[in-house]
Amino acid sequence: MDQGQVSVEAAPKTGFLSSLSLVTGALRAERGRMAGSIALATVSVLMEMLPILAVYKLIAMVAEGAQTSASFLWLAGGMSVAIALGYACFGLATRQSHIIAFNLIYDLRMRLANHLARLTLDRVSGMGSGEAKQTIITEPEKLELMVAHAIPEGASAMITWLVMSCWLFYVDWRMALAAIALTPIAFICMSIAIRLSYKSVEEVQRSNLEMNAAMAEFMAGLPVVKMFNATLDSQASISRAIIRLSDVQSAMGRAFVPMGGSFYALILANITVILTVGVWLMHSGEIDLTTLLFFVILGANYSTPLMRLFDLFHHFAHISITAVTAQRLLDQAPQHDSGDARALDGHRVQFDGAEASYVTQTVLHDICMTAEAGTTTALVGPSGSGKSTLARLIPRLLEIDRGSIAIAGRNTQDIGLSRLMADTAMVFQDPFLFTDTVAANIRYGDPEASDAEVRAAAEAAQAHGFITALPQGYDTVIGQGQQLLSGGERQRIAIARAMLKKAPIVILDEATAFTDPDNETEIQAAISALTQDKTLIVIAHRLHTITHADNIVVLDQGRIVAQGRHATLLTQEGLYAQMWRDYTDAGATILIGGAQNG
């Protein structure tokens, strides 16, 4: 799948608790700290209510004609302390909840990364870079709002609302009913608003992935875009993705506004009910002015925790949209791992009727071949014949559909992945280097290797010379964002990394396909050092590099059409002989260009 392709797997059904389910396990481990955060947040909100009580007391004293000077000073001092204490508790609660949030985000990202590492490459490659960024970086980041704010503040708002409700009923049950009369209707409006707007959850998710994929593809293909002057067309593609997401989100907002707006209007309108009922009861002599003032003051603030609660609930539900792709990834079954780490008794690799496919297309058919321990087996064939797929089946980077692959007589499915990876080294055609120092990239083959061992591997890979010429030598930072190395130099660092691993089975995926003659000589020398006394399986593009192979396996359209040594295959006048003639003819061809005078 290319950079911009979007996974089309059916997403799991999104619920309001989808995001919470992602962090339930880790949240359980933080329950003590979370309880403390909720308690502090509750105290903070309750402290906000004390000034309301103080104002009510002052108004009541004024209404009764009492002296208020001394009381005012005491109440003012009490309000100041309450406000200061409230802010302090809120700060401590926020600090605690953010620590919890960052711990949970770290835990979730590590779970996602570790789960990705346990999937086969065909599953991972089905995830475009835009989707990968959203799943591992963007989505967990949004959970910070849920954990750091929605849970502690939502819980404290609920507790505060319950306390206020009990207080109102304690003072006068009739006025309390007036204060909360509109609340159930408001709650129904909010429920309808969320249900209507979240009908388009999957469409929003899909549009968001398409926009991320379009941006990632544009950035990845920027050199091509600039070279072919296609900037406007590429931006138009991005613009369409952004507009589509905007349209879907706007439609979602339009579906929410009528009932959602009604919720906020009804929540704020409770004061009108309080005044209407209160004036009527006071006119009837059922309540006094002090009681009415109490409900006007407290009732006006009664909606505050409710608005906070439902606003957080709305965001909580919105965040659950972002749980879809992360949950979909975690729901994928990991690659089978027997866990058997016993040492292998030899390194003979044998394919017996192996078949493999990508999605629904079978790319390898009935593969039967043997790579004897300590020998070189070359895989050749036209582009798309299945060479790379066959090689990647050995360390189970990809899985077979039928048949079997055995190493030293043991089925690779029965060998633990850690043992399989420890005994296999692979140098890819386009080597990947991490954004780190040269030494760290080489040491990836053996994290415990000393500096002397790293240097020895670099020298054996013919890389020491150009490494020492770099600005900081082995401490020079290289990687995907750095352009300090040529393709051949990157290849030699990858070979040094494989050397340091000291694996008995070495797979080379067209390691010299795109190198210049000078680099090819040095890389061939490095490969000779790397593969000495190893079981070597090499995918060959330049046929002259494998003429001395112990066995050459010729593939065409996913099938083995011939096997044997170079001289033997040439006498059979089959596909290999034709490839050799084409290769040697191409080597003798001189390309002539230029305009002729006429």
Note the pLDDT tens digit of each residue in 465-492: 999 999 899 999 987 655 678 888 888 8
Cβ(275)–Cβ(296) below 8 Å: yes
539 forms beta bridges with: 379, 509
Q: Output 55 or 189, whichever has higher pLDDT.
A: 189
Work out the average pLDDT over 189-193: 84
The better pLDDT of the pair 306, 14 is held by: 306
Instruction: Compute CA distances 257 → 185, 231, 267, 310, 317, whole Å.
Output: 16, 38, 15, 14, 15
Q: Is residue 595's pLDDT more than 50?
A: no
| 331 band by pLDDT with thresholds 50, 70 and 90 | confident
Q: What is the pLDDT of residue 366?
A: 94
Q: Compute how many other C-beta atoms are within 10 angstroms of the C-beta atom of residue 278.
A: 26
Helices vs. strands in the chain: H and E counts, helices first: 25, 12
Q: Is 547 helix (H, G, I), strand (E, B) or coil?
A: coil
Tokens of 596: 């002729």
Distance from C-alpha of 425 to C-alpha of 410, rounded to nearest angstrom? 18
CB 480 within 8 A of CB 430: no
**pLDDT, tens digit (0-9, with 9 covering 90-100), for 396-428:** 988 999 999 999 999 999 999 999 999 999 888
- What share of the chain has pLDDT > 90, as a percent? 22
Residue 3: pLDDT over 60: no
The pLDDT score that the predictor gives to residue 10 is 41
Q: Report the pLDDT averaged over residues 42-67.
A: 75
The first and second tokens of residue 424, run together, are 């296999």
* Model confidence pTM above 0.85: no
Q: Which residue has tokens 């290289």?
A: 478
Please write the tens of the pLDDT for every residue from 515-553: 566 666 776 777 777 777 889 999 988 888 888 899 999
Give the mean pLDDT of the chain: 81
Distance CA 230, CA 120 (A): 35
Residue of 129 and 124 predicted with greater confidence: 124
Q: How far apart are the C-alpha atoms of 542 and 524, rounded to whole Å?
A: 12
Do 160 and 298 form a contact (C-beta atoms < 8 A)?
Answer: no
pLDDT of 512 = 59
Q: How confident is the model at residue 6 (pLDDT cuts 50, 70, 90)?
A: very low
pLDDT of residue 19: 60
